[in-house]
């Protein structure tokens, strides 16, 4: 099953993509409500759709397939860490702590972009893409999930492009916090959510998804990898996210950037220069993941944000004058 949202004139449709047709959910249900019902509930709905109410996919505009409750972005590919650390931190390394647990950060759910929607970056000299696969949580979610419970919490998967301003990110992370403004201007998701059961044939013996992932810039292949090169499985990411916390339906868990050119920053770090060149206005980034689909976006003109003053000197007084 493929779950999507789309714009049809002034109306927003939500439902299944069936044979290149956008078919609304029965009873006007929304994606969030279907995610809450879990996979079994989605299967029941799929059997009750009115195909005559469908619209040709070519006549609607796809939106991001969900409005995320939260977005956690992991860094689960060792090869990516190895390469990108040189371009962001000035030193190529995988710190020992990386191997201990699947680290993540929270990014902005309010700047999510859909398929074909242009990204509007801040003023940056090092605009980059990041090719990721994201798991979408469905059903009851929960806390301290493990094993089958963690796997069952995954409703499906989509493609994720974690846009990055590497120069801003590098400055921010020197303060031992972030990334913040280097990331939160845009995250593309789409083109739809493919339910987890559709991808089960691609699970290897260790539970990793052996899907091929590729990224093209202006039609030229820049990076390619197998998703199974992750250091942790997606259920293990779910388990860690829920550890002493909670995951809920609509949560998005990004895998982190795939290796072997899943972003420009990795290539810059390995090559010691800005080759290929940073993204510029008008560039097209197209991501293709086997059995999920393609996610494309172009780069729009950068927008200068409001000015921010430098920190002022303070006398560190401990009482009011």
* Confidence at residue 240, expressed as pLDDT on a 0 to 100 scale: 98
92 lies in the same domain as 142: yes
222 lies in the same domain as 132: yes
Domain boundary among 62, 79, 98: 62
Q: Cα separation of 120 and 50, whole Å? A: 38
Q: Is residue 199 a part of any domain in this protein?
A: yes
CATH number at residue 291: 3.90.850.10
Q: Which domain holds residue 35?
A: 2-62
Residue given tokens 């899943």 in the structure block: 262
- Please write the tens of the pLDDT for every residue from 1-25: 999 999 999 999 999 999 999 999 9
Q: Is residue 304 a part of any domain in this protein?
A: no
User: What is the total count of domains within the chain?
Assistant: 2
Q: Cα separation of 262 and 227, whole Å? A: 11
Those residues whose C-beta lies under 8 Å from the C-beta of residue 122, and which sit 6 or more positions away, are: 165, 168, 181, 185, 302, 303, 304, 305
Q: Kindly report the average pLDDT of the chain as a whole number.
A: 96
Q: From first to last of its 321 residues, what are the pLDDT tens digits of the chain?
A: 999 999 999 999 999 999 999 999 999 999 999 999 999 999 999 999 999 999 999 999 999 999 999 999 999 999 999 998 887 777 788 999 999 999 999 999 999 999 999 999 999 999 999 999 999 999 999 999 999 999 999 999 999 999 999 999 999 988 988 899 999 999 999 999 999 999 999 999 999 999 999 999 999 999 999 999 999 999 999 999 999 999 999 999 999 999 999 999 999 999 999 999 999 999 999 999 999 999 999 999 999 999 999 999 999 999 998
Residue given tokens 């729009």 in the structure block: 300
16 lies in the same domain as 97: no
DSSP assignment of 249-306: TTEEEE----TTTSSHHHHHHHHTS--SPPB-TT-EEEEEETTTEEEEEEB---B---
Q: Is residue 312 a part of any domain in this protein?
A: no
99 lies in the same domain as 9: no
57 lies in the same domain as 78: no
């Amino acid at each position: 099953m493929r779950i999507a949202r789309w714009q049809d004139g002034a109306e927003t449709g939500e439902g299944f993509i069936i044979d290149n047709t956008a078919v609304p959910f029965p009873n006007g249900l929304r994606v969030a409500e279907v995610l809450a019902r879990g996979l079994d509930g989605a299967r029941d709905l799929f059997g009750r759709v009115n195909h005559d109410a469908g619209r040709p996919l070519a006549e609607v505009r796809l939106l991001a397939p969900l409005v995320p409750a939260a977005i956690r972005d992991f860094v689960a590919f060792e090869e990516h860490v190895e390469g990108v650390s040189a371009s962001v931190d000035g030193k190529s390394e995988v710190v020992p702590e990386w191997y201990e647990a699947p680290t993540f950060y929270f990014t902005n759910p309010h700047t999510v972009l859909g398929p074909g929607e242009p990204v509007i970056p801040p003023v940056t000299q090092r605009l980059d893409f990041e090719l990721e696969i994201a798991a979408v949580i469905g059903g009851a979610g929960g806390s301290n999930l493990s094993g089958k419970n963690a796997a069952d919490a995954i409703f499906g998967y989509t493609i994720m492009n974690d846009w990055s301003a590497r120069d801003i990110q590098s400055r921010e992370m020197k303060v031992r916090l972030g990334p913040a403004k280097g990331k939160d201007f845009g995250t593309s998701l789409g083109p739809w959510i493919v339910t987890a059961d559709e991808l089960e044939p691609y699970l290897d013996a260790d539970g990793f998804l052996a899907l091929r992932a590729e990224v093209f810039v202006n039609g030229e292949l820049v990076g390619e990898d197998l998703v199974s090169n992750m250091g942790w499985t997606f259920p293990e990411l779910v388990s860690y996210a829920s550890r002493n916390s909670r995951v809920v339906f609509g949560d998005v868990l990004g895998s982190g950037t795939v290796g072997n050119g899943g972003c420009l920053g990795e290539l810059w770090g390995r090559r010691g220069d800005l080759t290929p060149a940073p993204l510029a206005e008008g560039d097209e980034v197209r991501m293709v993941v086997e059995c999920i689909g393609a996610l494309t976006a172009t780069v729009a003109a950068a927008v200068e944000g409001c000015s921010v003053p430098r920190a002022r000197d303070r006398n560190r007084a401990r009482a009011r004058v």
